[in-house]
Structures are given as structure tokens and as C-alpha cells.
Amino acid sequence: MPNLFESVQLGSLVLANRVFMAPLTRTRADADGVPSEFAATYYSQRASAGLIVTEATQISPMGKGYLNTPGIHSHEQVRAWKQIVESVHKSGGRIFLQLWHVGRISHSSLLPNNVQPVAPSAIRANAHTHIATGAAQVSEPVALTASGIKETLADYQRAAANAKEAGFDGVEIHAANGYLIDQFLRTGTNQRTDKYGGVAANRVRFLTEAVEQVLEAWDSKQIGVRISPTVDFNDMSDDNPRDTFSVAVARLNGYGLGYLHVVEQAQDSKGSSEEDLALSAYLRTLWKGLYVVNGGYDGPKGEKAIRSGHADAVAYGRAFLANPDLPRRLQLSAALNEPDPTTFYGGDAAGYTSYPALS
Ligand code: 8OZ
């Protein structure tokens, strides 16, 4: 078995190591969803990652759910991302854009003409977001119509093409953490009676159709999918996660995608349960591409995950946020900078580009 610091092939790309940077929402974009001027520095400081996955980035104005998250649907946004990608490439890094639609995890004040958010079913989440006035309960969503689903799928295609224009190395489809695709996947949020609801094969349909849209712009190996089968963040639940996600993985296998990225543990949870890890281990046996894990890994645990064959790569979130040279630090077993939660979301360079590398 390889170790954490060995290279790995992803389609036509040779990634320098298996220490990936997990997608991290930092809410520092402007009101139009244009990434900040600090973002090029932030991402290029982290170019030693085997692969950087960007912060979640909305595919359309309706895909936005928080103040100051970036988008990939306007010219200005594409132009800003292009500079970020160039800067990462100059530093020798590889970077995928994470394509995001929040579905019901939004607030009318963030949406065009203050409309209600959209979701598979009109079920309001017991969850919070951030709007101009501070924290707020998310709004009541409306169920997507058949034509609304078509339009949303077309937004995935446009956003994927925009990511290509911006020069990214690939895209990751965000199907995790209680956002739109995950809302279709799991039973707690999907009560549809059409072909997008009911049995798992139907609940997986929106995801596979989104993949098909993205395939219009990208080679299959340049596409990853992120799922979180047991994460209850954003008021999520499923009657049978093993059934839902084994069907999802079986369907996804048919596309020959680059990787599956599995969140095994929610951001603020105390740790992965035996069940979380057992389901992830089972999905690993089904999945035919690279298998990337995330949630609760430190250096030794990540190394063990690779050496045992549990995963092909490990994505680090908070540790990468606070340590721009994380792969080197893990390899040297060096001390790590502590992440400062007060600067995770919003603000400027402090807690963003200010964490030092080892000298
Ligand atoms: C933290 C705050 C806001 C959004 C996710 C995109 O959980 C997020 C997110 C995380 O996937």
C-alpha cells in the first residue's frame, strides 16, 4: 500500500501526494459573489496539497445560501477565479472547483427578488444561515417543478463550463452536507412522488443527471462527487443510509468518475461513530475510482487510512486552513498551527492568508 506522501494518478493528472485540501467555506467574496483579492494568495499558499478543492461555489443566483460565498455564474466571477487558478498553477498546485447549490438552506433575502429557496419538497429545515443582519433561520422552500429541475440541471452545465473557462483542473460536485443534491438523495427531505422521489434509484436521479450535465464540459476523470451519508448537519436524515448510498455509488460507478469524496464526520461532531466508518468502508468496496475520505483525520490516522487501503487520499479541512504547508508538516511530524474559529467566516486577511508556513 502507498503512503500519504506518495503521488497518485487522477485521470491525466499526477497529484504530488494524497494530502488533499478539503472544501472550506470562508465567506470572503463580495456581494456579487466575486472571490476576494486575497483568495489567490490563500489558495496558492496551499498549493502543496495533492489537490485543492475550493470552497463551495454557487452555480446560480438561486444556489446561494449564505452571505459572501462565491459564485461561478457571472463573467466577473469567472475572471476572478481565473486569476486564482493561475496563481495556484504557478505555485505547482492542482485545483478543482466545488459546484454548489444550497437548495433549501437559504434565506429569501439572499435570493433574486427575495423569492423562496427551492428544494425537492417543501420542508423547511431546522437550520441557520448568515444574512446581512446576522444569523437567521432558513426560509421555507418551495418544491421544484419539473421545469425547475431542468433549469437547475442546465445551471450545473453552465457552471461546469465556466469552471473550465477559468482553467480549473476539474470540478467536484457537492452532493453532501444537506444541500440540494443531498436533499434529493435522503428520505427526510425528499417526499416527491415523481421519478425523482420514492425508492433510492429515484432519489439518486437528480445527482446522476447533474453528473451528466457536468460531463458535457469535463472528462469523467476530472469530476469528483462529495457525499456525507451519515452527517445530520442541516437537519438531514435518511431511513436507510446504506441503501441510499450503495445505490448512489452503484449508479455513479457507471460514469467512470475520478473520485468519490466521503465526509465521514460532520464539522462540529465529536468523532466518527463505528457505523459512520463501517458504512464508509462498505462504500469503499463498491466504488471503482479513487476514494477520498474527510472528517476527523490527523496525520497518523490519515497515514493509517492510506496504508490500510481504507482510502486513496485524505482531505483535511481545519488543519489545512491553519497550516498552508500541511503536507510537509505531516511528513515531518512537525507542530501544527491551531485554527482560530473566530476568523473562519468573513473578515479579511487575518486568519485567512496570515497563518505561517514552517521556516
Ligand atoms: C460551513 C458553513 C457554511 C457552509 C458545507 C458548504 O458544509 C458548507 C458550509 C460549511 O458543505
Ligand 1 pocket test, pick from 24, 25, 232 with the greatest ligand atom count within 8 Å of Cβ, gives 25
Question: Which residue out of 179, 291, 316, 355 is catalytically annotated?
Answer: 179
Is the distance from the beta carbon of residue 337 to the nearest atom of ligand 1 less than 6 Å? no
Amino acid of residue 177: N
Q: How far, in Å, is the centroid of ligand 1 from the Cα of 337?
A: 22
| Atom of ligand 1 minimally distant from the CA of 130 | 3
Is the distance from the beta carbon of residue 177 to the nearest atom of ligand 1 less than 6 Å? yes
Global pTM value: 0.98
- Are 38 and 352 in contact, with CB atoms under 8 Å apart? yes
Is the distance from the beta carbon of residue 87 to the nearest atom of ligand 1 less than 6 Å? no
345 catalytic? Reply is no
Q: How far, in Å, is the centroid of ligand 1 from the Cα of 189?
A: 18
Q: How far, in Å, is the centroid of ligand 1 from the Cα of 184?
A: 18
Q: What's the residue count for the chain?
A: 359
Task: Flag whether pLDDT at 37 surpasses 80.
Answer: yes
| Atom of ligand 1 minimally distant from the CA of 66 | 3
| Residue 271 pLDDT | 67
Closest protein CA for atom 5 of ligand 1: 177
Q: How confident is the model over 245-301, as pLDDT tens digits?
A: 999 999 999 999 999 999 998 776 766 778 888 999 999 999 999 999 999 999 999
Please count the other Cβ atoms lying within 10 Å of the Cβ belonging to residue 343. 18
| Residue 273 pLDDT | 77
Closest protein CA for atom 7 of ligand 1: 177
Q: How confident is the model over 294-308, as pLDDT tens digits?
A: 999 999 999 999 999
Q: How far, in Å, is the centroid of ligand 1 from the Cα of 308?
A: 29
SS (H, E, C) the chain: CCCCCCCEEECCEEECCCEEECCCCCCCCCCCCCCCCCHHHHHHHCCCCCCEEEEEEECCHHHCCCCCCCECCCHHHHHHHHHHHHHHHHCCCCEEEEEECCCCCCCHHHCHHHCCCEECCCCCCCCEEEECCEEEECCCCEECCHHHHHHHHHHHHHHHHHHHHCCCCEEEEECCCCCHHHHHHCCCCCCCCCCCCCCHHHHCHHHHHHHHHHHCCCCHHHEEEEECCCCCCCCCCCCCHHHHHHHHHHHHHCCCCCEEEEECCCCCCCCCCHHHHHHHHHHHHHCCCEEEEECCCCHHHHHHHHHCCCCCEEEECHHHHHCCCHHHHHHHCCCCCCCCHHHCCCCCCCCCCCCCCCC
Q: How far, in Å, is the centroid of ligand 1 from the Cα of 359?
A: 32
Q: How confident is the model over 113-148, as pLDDT tens digits?
A: 999 999 999 999 999 999 999 999 999 999 999 999
CA–CA gap between residue 139 and residue 126 (Å, rounded): 10
| Atom of ligand 1 minimally distant from the CA of 234 | 7
Q: How far, in Å, is the centroid of ligand 1 from the Cα of 236?
A: 14
Is the distance from the beta carbon of residue 66 to the nearest atom of ligand 1 less than 6 Å? yes
Q: How confident is the model over 288-341, as pLDDT tens digits?
A: 999 999 999 999 999 999 999 999 999 999 999 999 999 999 999 999 999 999
- Are 257 and 221 in contact, with CB atoms under 8 Å apart? yes
The CATH class that applies to domain 8-343 reads alpha beta
Is the distance from the beta carbon of residue 190 to the nearest atom of ligand 1 less than 6 Å? no
Is the distance from the beta carbon of residue 56 to the nearest atom of ligand 1 less than 6 Å? yes
Q: How confident is the model over 185-214, as pLDDT tens digits?
A: 999 999 999 999 999 999 999 999 999 999
Chain centre to alpha carbon of residue 327: 20
Is the distance from the beta carbon of residue 129 to the nearest atom of ligand 1 less than 6 Å? no
